[in-house]
Amino acid sequence: MSTIKTLEDLNKAAKRGLESIIPSKTKIMVGMSTSGLASGAQEVYDALAAEIKKRKLDVVLCKTSAMGMDCIEPLVEVIQPNRPRLAYSRMTAKKVPEVINQVAKGVVDGFKPTYRMDEEDYLCLNEKKPYFKGPLPNDVKDIPTISNVDFYKKQVKIATRNCGMINFESIDEYVAKGGYFSLYKALTQMKPEQIIDEIIASGLRGRGGGGFPAGVKWQTCRRAHGDIKYVLCNGDEGDPGAYMDRSVMEGDPHSIIEGMIIGAFAIGATDGFIYVRNEYPLAVANLQRALDQARAYGFLGNNIFNSGFNFDIKIGKGAGAFVCGESTALMTSLEGKAGEPRAKYIHTVEYGLWNRPSNLNNVETWANVPAIISRGAKWFSSIGCKNNSGTKVFSLVGKVNNIGLVEVPMGIPLKDIIYEIGGGIPGGKKFKAVQTGGPSGGCIPKSLEDISVDFDALWEAGSMMGSGGMIVMDETTCMVDIARYFIDFLEFESCGKCVPCREGVMRMNEILHDICGGKGRPGDIELLESMSKGIVDGALCALGSTAPNPVLSTLKYFRDEYTAHVRDKKCPAGVCKALIRFSVSDEKCTGCGVCLKKCPTECISGEKKKTHVIDQTECIKCGVCKESCKFDAIIVE
């Protein structure tokens, strides 16, 4: 690898990359991100390698990351000369020979791909390249294109543009997708102020939760006094169940690095740090490889693109505390001290890491930057809605059919995400609410399912965007229990520095445990409310000041559920064990005896063909009887 100093060099790398993205021979790709590996992608990869060797096929086998649809992984994709790209889902080692058969023959028959791609988007080049010329081969005509798959139909990919599309181990493939051309443009054709103006004009807001305008932050940091300045990337991602940032770090590390170099040039920073949790080993490895490659090409180091600009990036590893995602705690942790927040009355853009001006942005925020520089502020702000330009990546989990990572334009109605992209609620159950914004976010009830998904509307509804967690809940979810679950998490993650959060959240948790355990007292709801106010106002950092949110938002929309627990000692959703009772319906019970056999404590009795009875003193409320009864005869009240 020789260094790249000119546009000509860059074009050469792009050419090499394109040859490896769409080679002149067959290429098979396996989705090997953390989610792919968890569903068995390594086995599939090994089986493919063995089968290819056995049949002596001339095939390129390589790794890519995930495109987002976790529920169909492991995913294997095949690109063959002059044929559309085909995606085989839910792959197993057993299905490998069949796929290889099709590859050898060059036609689909038998095991069907889930979707096909006729062309590939080169976003940063503003270009679409077809996989084949001429008419569509007959054998793939009835395979839907990806744009006809419900999960992908309404998605718009900017931050995750390359995830699952390129081999994350290849910098040339990234360059072929238009990567580092934005860096070239920024360093050789733009002034730092111009870059900042462009980012301000694009309306890009921080994707880590706060939604602060990125360009304004850069500008303040540029204007702050000091010769040494830092740009930082927040890859802590502590929200349980969230993995948007992990996917970008694993699948397209160069997009973050390129964004950071452009930002550093605009701000006048000399060093950069990417803060990643230790629990993300693959992200760390892929970022490290990418940094080494970028350094070898001269995108990091001295005199980048002969511009005279010097900059380098290091990785800082965190121990995986949720609070370390908070800006001041992240910086203290990077300094090698215990990750505890401190007061921010003087901003970190002025006094941050080692008391020097520091600009922190989220992974996704950085990944958007090269696209904005390449396509322009006007293009970016044309996507999304008022004051909320661009897209947002969400991890869609919970009681929804299609689980996975989705990138949607800001302002999309919530119901589109749940019913169309998510494919609705499994088991014919009713949608009840969705938790957005992570543990300290809030619940949006079904009655607000038309809400526009953007920073401001979610905030108004008592929740927030957060970093993009989205947990769907159905009618079998108890909202008091949900609030307790999140408060439990926050109690565990509180750093313990300040009184309102350390002691207050713990007391709220005690009260919620009591309420769910049938020991709620009159006045508990009001006490939770007044404590919430005190904690919101009094806590030192945003972990504490947003910690009451799960309680406040569930109280706002589901107060009657709290009242039912406290006053009537009932759990309307039938979840809180201390408040429910299982019995058998005289009308529906056929006396088949299935429940009697399944009950682990053997507390169900009854003769064949006669209504069975549950002994309340022995019942442990495990719900096995209800699950096993075919006649829906078990009553929960």
Partner 1 sequence: MVSFVIDGKNVQAEGGAMLLNVARQNGIVIPTLCAHDTVARSGACRLCVVEVTKGKRTRIVTSCLYPVDEGIVVSTKTERVMNVRSLVMQLLMARCPESQLLKDMAKEMGIEPQPSFRVETDKGKCILCRLCVKTCEDVVGVSAIGLSRRGKDKIVGPPFMEDSVTCVGCGACAYVCPTDHIVMESTDGRRKIWGRAFRMKACDTCGRYFAPVDQLKWISKKTGTPLSELSVCLSCK
Ligand X SMILES: Cc1cc2nc3c(=O)[nH]c(=O)nc-3n(C[C@H](O)[C@H](O)[C@H](O)COP(=O)(O)O)c2cc1C
Q: List interacting residues with ligand SF4 (CB under 6 A).
A: 323, 341, 494-498, 501-502, 539-541, 543-544
Do residues 299 and 4 lie in contact, with contact meaning Cβ atoms separated by under 8 Å?
Answer: yes
Residue 523 binding result from ligand SF4, ligand X, partner 1, none, given CB thresholds of 5 to 8 Å by partner type: partner 1
Coarse DSSP helix, strand, coil percentages of the chain, rounded to the nearest 5 percent: 45, 15, 40
Do residues 525 and 514 lie in contact, with contact meaning Cβ atoms separated by under 8 Å?
Answer: no
Identify the DSSP state of 452: B
- Token pair in block for residue 238: 């502590």
Stretch that binds ligand X, among 16-24, 81-89, 124-132, 540-548 (CB under 6 A): 540-548
Long-range contacts of 499-503 (CB under 8 A, 24+ apart): 499/538, 500/534, 500/535, 500/538, 500/539, 500/544, 501/535, 501/539, 501/540, 501/541, 501/543, 501/544, 501/547
Identified binder of ligand X from the candidate list 65, 80, 365, 436, rule CB under 6 A = 365
502 binds partner 1 (CB under 8 A): yes
- Return the number of the residue (467 or 509) whose C-beta is nearest partner 1: 509
Alpha helices in 452-523 (DSSP H): 455-460, 479-493, 499, 506-516
323 binds ligand X (CB under 6 A): yes
346 binds partner 1 (CB under 8 A): yes
The 109-128 site mask, x for binding partner 1 (CB under 8 A), equals --------------------
The 391-410 site mask, x for binding partner 1 (CB under 8 A), equals --------------------
The 528-547 site mask, x for binding partner 1 (CB under 8 A), equals --xx-xxx-xxxx-------
Quick check: helix, strand or coil at residue 122?
strand
541 binds ligand X (CB under 6 A): yes
Do residues 36 and 73 lie in contact, with contact meaning Cβ atoms separated by under 8 Å?
Answer: yes
521 binds partner 1 (CB under 8 A): yes
266 binds ligand X (CB under 6 A): no
498 binds partner 1 (CB under 8 A): yes
Q: How far is the CB of 512 from ligand SF4 (least distance, A)?
A: 18
Identified binder of ligand X from the candidate list 51, 173, 250, 326, rule CB under 6 A = 326
Interatomic CA distance for residues 356 and 230, integer angstroms = 7
Quick check: helix, strand or coil at residue 159?
coil
Do residues 503 and 490 lie in contact, with contact meaning Cβ atoms separated by under 8 Å?
Answer: no
Residue 521 binding result from ligand X, partner 1, ligand SF4, none, given CB thresholds of 5 to 8 Å by partner type: partner 1
Identify the DSSP state of 181: H
- Return the number of the residue (301 or 538) whose C-beta is nearest ligand X: 538
Q: How far is the CB of 517 from partner 1 (least distance, A)?
A: 14
Identified binder of ligand X from the candidate list 35, 64, 160, 327, rule CB under 6 A = 327
Whether cis (ω within 30° of 0) applies to the bond prior to 500 is no
Residue 331 binding result from ligand SF4, ligand X, partner 1, none, given CB thresholds of 5 to 8 Å by partner type: none
* Strands 388-389 and 312-318, sheet pairing: unpaired
* Strands 388-389 and 384-385, sheet pairing: antiparallel
Interatomic CA distance for residues 26 and 23, integer angstroms = 7
Across 229-239, b (16+ Cβ under 10 Å) vs e yields bbbbbbbbbbb
Identified binder of ligand X from the candidate list 210, 413, 591, 623, rule CB under 6 A = 210
Do residues 498 and 479 lie in contact, with contact meaning Cβ atoms separated by under 8 Å?
Answer: no
- Return the number of the residue (206 or 316) whose C-beta is nearest ligand X: 206
Residue 189 binding result from partner 1, ligand SF4, ligand X, none, given CB thresholds of 5 to 8 Å by partner type: none
Identified binder of partner 1 from the candidate list 63, 342, 347, 519, rule CB under 8 A = 342
Q: Binding-site residue total for partner 1 (CB under 8 A)?
A: 36
206 binds ligand X (CB under 6 A): yes
User: Going by C-beta distance under 8 Å and a sequence separation of 6 or more, which residues neighbour residue 167?
Assistant: 20, 29, 62, 63, 64, 173
Which CA distances in Å does 85 have to 78, 82, 103, 106, 128? 6, 9, 12, 12, 14
Q: How far is the CB of 536 from ligand SF4 (least distance, A)?
A: 10
- Return the number of the residue (172 or 493) whose C-beta is nearest ligand X: 493
Stretch that binds ligand X, among 185-193, 230-238, 409-417, 480-488 (CB under 6 A): 230-238
Phi, psi for residue 52 in degrees, rounded to 5: -65, -40
219 binds ligand X (CB under 6 A): no
Residue 361 binding result from ligand SF4, ligand X, partner 1, none, given CB thresholds of 5 to 8 Å by partner type: ligand X
CA pseudo-torsion sign 222, 225, 226, 230: negative
Applying CB under 6 A, the residues found at the interface with ligand X are: 206-210, 212, 214, 234, 236-238, 322-323, 325-327, 360-362, 365, 467, 541-543
Applying CB under 8 A, the residues found at the interface with partner 1 are: 321, 338, 342-343, 345-346, 491-500, 502-504, 506-507, 510-511, 521, 523-524, 527, 530-531, 533-535, 537-540
